[in-house]
Structure formats: C-alpha cells, structure tokens
Chains A and B, each alone.
Chain A
Amino acid sequence: MNPALKPVLVVLGWAAFNAVLVLLMLVYGENALFIGMYGAAVGLALLVAGAVFLGRRDPAGQGRRTVAVASQSGLLFALAAVLAGAGLIFGYWLTGFAIIPLLAALARQRKEVLPRGAAPAATEVSTLHSQRPQGGDGGPVAKGVKAATATVVAAKAAGWWRRRRRSSRT
C-alpha cells in the first residue's frame, strides 16, 4: 500500500531543502544581498506551498467555479501587455493602444465560461482499439541500416574471436 504523500509536503520539502542550502551559503560567506535573493526564491516556493494548502483545503470550492470553454481573452490580454511594453520602446502613445485589447479582454472574459453547474460535453473520437504493438521491419532504409549494423557487429565479434584464439595459442 502506498503511504499518502501530501502535495503540500512535496512543495514544503522542496522549499526546506532550498532553505538549508541558503543557510549553508551563510557559512561560506556569500554577499548578504545575494543570499537574500535566494531566500526570496525560497519565499516564493513557500507561497506556492501555501496556495496548494489552501487549494487542497477547499475541494468543494471547485463545484462553485465556472468552467471556461473559450480563451480569446488570453490573446487579448497578451496583446495588451506586449503593446504596453512596446510603449516603453516606441513611445507612450503605444501604451494607449493597449487599453483597447485590455477592455476587449475584460468584456470577453465573462462570455467564455459556461453557466454555473454546467459541464462541457464528453466527446468521442474515432479510434483504433487494437493494442498490438506496431511491429514490422520498417522501410528499405531501416532494413539497410539494420543489415549494416548486423554486419559490423558480426565482423567485430569475428575479429574479437580470432584475436582471442591467437592469444590463447601464444
């Protein structure tokens, strides 16, 4: 029987090992600024652990959530973000343009979800059910490569056997 390993323990354990490595850094006298940088990453891992802990404590919450069935808002949000960034290079006027996809994304986001309680339909696809491995010898190239490999291996084995015989005679 498998012992239960909690997901939060995985993340916490990982963060803890990193914390040990941070502490070890102190012994070796690394600059405090950069020890702090590593410590901040451990802090991020702890935040992830906290989120996992809270997510696990509220499994019923999943039932209250709506299910997204489209994601145009993803493109629009990304476009807004990149336009805003490009504004730093080409002028702030471009940042203004980022507002358009941002507003469109916000408007779109609400329409991308199913009504509460509804689930997407299960869809079947055509499939071959055979579990037989795809055997066969492949094409002529594969056969040629296999034959060449077999010849080289055989030649090597013959050479090794001859050398062995010669050395056993001497």
Chain B
Amino acid sequence: MTSRLTATEPPGPQPTHEPPRSWLASTDHKRIAILTLGTALVLLFAMGGLALAMRTQLAQPDSDFVQNDTYNQLFTMHGSGMIYLVITPMALALGLYLVPLQVGSPTVAAPRTTMLGYWLYVLGAIAVLSGFLTAGGAAKEGWTAYTPLSSARFAPNVGTDLWILGNFASSLGMILIAGTVLWTVLLKRARGMTMLRVPVFSWAMVATNLMVLAAFPSLLIALGLLAVGRMSPDVFSSNVWNIGYQHLFWFYGHPVVYVMFFPFVGAVAEVLATFARRRFFGYKATVLSLLAFAALSMSVWGHHMFTTGQVADDYYSLTSIALLVPAGIEYFAMLGTIIGARLRFSVPMLFALAFIPQFLVGGLTGIMVATPVLDYQMQDSYFVVAHFHYTLAAGSLFGFFAGFYFWFPKATGIMLGKGLGHVHFWLMVVGINATFLPMFWLGMEGMPRRVASYLPTDGFGTLNFISTVGSWVLGVAMLAFAANLVVSIVRRRTRRAADNPWEAHTLEWATSSPPPPLNFDAAHPLPPITSFTPLLDLRRKHVKDREPT
C-alpha cells in the first residue's frame, strides 16, 4: 500500500503556529517523538539520581544515608520509573521518529492519537512523581506492586494510588503510540517499499509494537485490579486474585523487557551495517527471528513466578530456553555483519560494539534464572539485579546511545562532539561493569535485593563499595553526555550535519537534516527503493556507472 500524501504535492493551507504551540500541538511524528524522547531523557537523569542515592546508602554496612522507608520509595520509583517512564517510552519514541522516515511515509498514522499518547505519558509521569509530595511519600512496594503488600491495608499512602493512576495513564499512552507506528509501517509505506524492503530497525519496531498491543493491556487490567483491591481489600484475601495479579503483571512484565530491547537491537543493526559499510547480514533470518522472538517472549512470563510453586515450571523453562534460538540468529547476524568488514570506530559504533558482549552477559544469565533449579536459589538475590541491569543498562541503554549518537545529526542537523562522546562511552563501559558485575557475586554470596542495609559481618562491604564507586563513574558519564548535548547545541553553527554524514543505507538519510515536516520534499525526493538499503544501492550503482567498461 502506498500513502496518498506525498511531500511533493502542491502547497496547501499550512498552520502558522509559533513555538511552543507548534511543538505541543504538533501532528509531526518527529516532533512528538522528540518531545517523548526529551521527556524520557529528563526522567532518565531523575531516576538515575534515585539510583545514586541507593548506591550511596549501600556503599558501607550499617549506613544511614537514607531511612528504610525512603529507601523503599527510592527502589520502587527507580525501578518502575525506568521501566514505565524511561526506557519503554525511549524505545517507542525512537520508532515513532524513524519508522515513517524509513518506510517513506510523510506522516505517522493518526497523529492526534499519537499526541494523545504522549500527553497521557507526561501526565502519568507527573502523577507518579507527585507521590513524593504526599504525606505518606511515594509508592514503596517495588515495581511489581505485589499484593497484598500493595493493598490499602499495608500501603495506605496516596503515593501508591498516584503510582497506579500514573502508570496506567502512561502505559495507555504507550499502547496508542505503538498502534499508530505499527499501522504506519504496515499500511503507509511508500511505493516500492515492500515488506521485505523494510529496514531491520522498522522490522524490530513491528515486533515491538505487536508485543505492546498484545501484552500491555494486561498491565492495564492488573493495575485496575490493584485499584479495585485498594477500594475493596477483600479482593486480595482470595489466592486466585493474588496469583492472578502476578500472572497479569508478568504477562506484561516479561514482554516489556523485549519492548525495551528490540528497538535497540534494530538501532544496533543499522549502526553496525553502516559502520561496516555493508548490508546487514542475514536480513530475512533476522526478520523472522525478531517475530519468533517476540512471540516466544509472550509465553515465558511464568519463569518470574517459579518460586510461587503455582506455575507449570517445565513449560516456562522450555520456552525461556527456546529464546536462545532467535537470539542466537540475531547475534550471528550482527557478528556476520562486522566480521571481515572495514570498520569505522565512530562513537555510535563503539556503543553498538559494546552492546554485543554486554547484552550477552544479561541474556545468558537470564537463561540461568529462567531455569527452575537455579531460580529457586537466586530468586530475589542481587544476582537477579545484576542480570536485569546487564540487559537494560549494559544492553538497552548502550543500544539507545548507539542510536542516539547515530540519528541525532539527522534529527537536529547538529553533529555531537566526538571528544565528549568518547569520554561518555569509556566512562559508561567502566561504570556499568564496575556497578553491576560485583552484584553477581553479591547475589551468589546471598545478599537479598531490596534491603536498605546489611551488617559488617555479612561480608558484602567490599563488593558493595566497588559497585557504588562504579555507579558514581556512571553518573559522571551521564554528565559528560549532558555536557556533549549542551556544547553541541550551543556550537551548532560550527557542527552542522550533512544529510548523510555517516554514509548510511536507509531512506531517512535521503532527506535533509533535520527532515522537513512531511519528511521528503522536492529537494529531497524519495530515491528508488530496490532493497532494504536503497542508499547503498544508489552509491554502488553510481560507482558501477563510473567504472570504465
């Protein structure tokens, strides 16, 4: 299907709003995506600040940097904030920005619905964070908000109610955004952009958005159940509702891990192919594996509940281990893309290369904790904390930064600084590994998660101290990133980006930097689309045409 709107149509009526209205009431998918990404980045710093406070508390045994109750609020808001309000919106916003450009569509489908999704997200975030201003403080039951701990009997504070409301609103917003982006890639592609010419990143967004549409409603039902339970506490006196809540929650809670992962796999794939100066290796196998991965990820939720003794362990263990097959295909495809290539080690490429081994650590330890015999030992220990931070921080966040440095010039017309980019990258590598690697040993030695303190005799002091130092290095890395953003924007006149500064392969690089409102215009028409790397095809054709016969 092709879209009727094209950027080369004769000019018609155009709204003439000035900023900020032109942004806050925009129907341009790029602006909505930048608003979403900007909001998520601000919240990333806020949630990271909460993590630093936690790590400072744990640097030494018997520390009283924060009170126990405050600590409970910190880990709840950090965990839930990062998942509901930071990484998921970042992942979907990246798709919202890029998918219409990559498939040659001038707009996103239903832009007002997309904007509604953004505002639900923002107002939801405000509701969640406003819990800190209430008398009883913010929510403090962990990001899972298990019942009956989160019932009105044990958590009577308004902060928990606001947490439920805010996360409901923001997740609903994410569903709306996912729906419009999925519709765009499936039904608003440019002429010539067949499904098997859709770039890997956009395919990753197809898989992501399918998961959002199928799994996120389960979270809405779970949060609704929680709200009903807080109004009628008797609900959670029945086991079926307690275990039912966990099923509903994890039916969302596991796919969301892949929602926070696939877009960054797609980003890394594009970065690797560009800086390896070749097509992404194993395109069709990767597309198939992404879809299979997404389907399998819907079926593994019970591995988070092994220790309840109320799930079919064998099934969830089998499907969890089966995830290795599509994951392995994607890893081989990434390695196949870079092996033997003339690599360019620009900042996006460094982040993409670091993503590969770091996420592997998170993935393989995930298989460990998805094995019932090991999970019974490691459940609720720091081993699990290390595992999921290797997937989300060492994995997804590195994939995000690979994409951020890669597409920032396209979105803004400004090149980010290389020097500060390198500082940011190396400090992040050191900081991430120093923070989370010791946690594996802490978990093996028996340190439980979600504890505000430990005794000197526990023997956790040294590893916790290393972890805390690592977290502060990570904090400095993020400051380097912020400085890079500010400096680059201030010096934008000397750092103007070309339309295709990296010699990338996909359609978004055929238009201007930043792209015009309808993505492609008379000066930047859509090139012929002959494969999933149309610009690479064009360059090769030009080279071939110039060769003497």
Contacts and interface: CB of A to CB of B under 8 A. Distances in A.
B7 A122 contact: yes
B312 A134 contact: no
A25 B186 contact: no
B422 A138 contact: yes
A115 B468 CA distance: 59
Interface string B27-44: 100000000000000000
Given A77-B116, A138-B418, A127 B169 contact: no
A71 B112 contact: yes
A22 B207 CA distance: 18
Given A114-B12, A128-B498, A71 B248 contact: no
Interface in B191-225: 194-197, 206-207, 210, 213-215, 217-218
Interface in B161-183: 161-162, 165, 168-169, 172-173, 182-183
A124 B523 contact: yes
Interface in B474-515: 496-503, 512-515
Contacts of B417: 138-139
A112 to B, nearest CB: 7
Contact of B119 (A37, A41, A75): A75
27 contacts: A2-B196, A2-B197, A4-B195, A10-B186, A17-B291, A18-B214, A21-B296, A22-B299, A38-B251, A44-B214, A68-B27, A71-B115, A74-B25, A74-B117, A78-B116, A122-B521, A123-B517, A124-B523, A125-B516, A127-B413, A128-B496, A129-B498, A131-B499, A133-B503, A134-B498, A136-B418, A145-B422
Given A38-B298, A128-B513, A28 B251 contact: no
Across the A-B interface, the 8 shortest Cβ-Cβ residue pairs: A139-B419, A138-B418, A78-B119, A74-B115, A127-B512, A28-B315, A121-B11, A71-B115
B518 A62 contact: no
A141 B169 contact: no
Interface string A39-67: 00110110010001001100100110001
B419 A138 contact: yes
A81 B422 contact: no
A30 B516 CA distance: 52
Nearest to A8: B186
Contacts of B521: 122-124
B130 to A, nearest CB: 10
B545 interface: no
Contact of A7 (B186, B227, B419, B523): B186
Contacts of B187: 7, 52, 55-56
Contact of B315 (A2, A24, A71, A145): A24
Nearest to B227: A88
A7 B195 contact: yes
A41 B7 CA distance: 38
A11 B517 CA distance: 30
B15 A67 contact: no
Interface of B: 1-5, 7-15, 17, 24-27, 111-120, 122-124, 127, 158, 161-162, 165, 168-169, 172-173, 182-183, 186-187, 194-197, 206-207, 210, 213-215, 217-218, 227, 231, 240, 244, 247-248, 251, 291-292, 294-296, 298-299, 302, 310-312, 314-315, 318-319, 344, 413, 415, 417-423, 426, 496-503, 512-518, 521-524
B512 A125 contact: yes
Given A37-B247, A70-B25, A74-B116, A14 B294 contact: yes
Interface residues of A, number: 82
A77 B118 CA distance: 11
A43 B520 CA distance: 37
A41 B214 contact: yes
B9 A122 contact: yes
Contacts of B206: 10
A117 to B, nearest CB: 9
A17 B292 contact: yes
Given A120-B12, A129-B498, A45 B214 contact: yes
A24 B10 CA distance: 55
A14 to B, nearest CB: 5
A90 to B, nearest CB: 8
A47 to B, nearest CB: 9
B187 to A, nearest CB: 5
Given A48-B213, A68-B111, A121-B12, A21 B298 contact: yes
Q: Which residue among B11, B124, B240, B498 has the maximum number of chain A CB atoms within 10 Å of its CB?
A: B498
A34 interface: yes
A121 B13 contact: yes
Contacts of B413: 127-128
Contact of B312 (A5, A30, A120, A139): A30
B195 A10 contact: yes
Contacts of B161: 88-89
Given A30-B302, A69-B27, A74-B118, A120 B14 contact: yes
A20 B532 CA distance: 30
Given A73-B116, A78-B123, 14 more contacts: A17-B295, A25-B312, A31-B310, A37-B218, A69-B14, A78-B120, A82-B127, A119-B10, A122-B8, A124-B522, A125-B512, A131-B498, A131-B500, A145-B426
A139 B119 CA distance: 40
A128 to B, nearest CB: 5
Nearest to B194: A2
B342 to A, nearest CB: 13
Interface string A119-163: 111111111111111101011111001000000000000000000
B497 A128 contact: yes
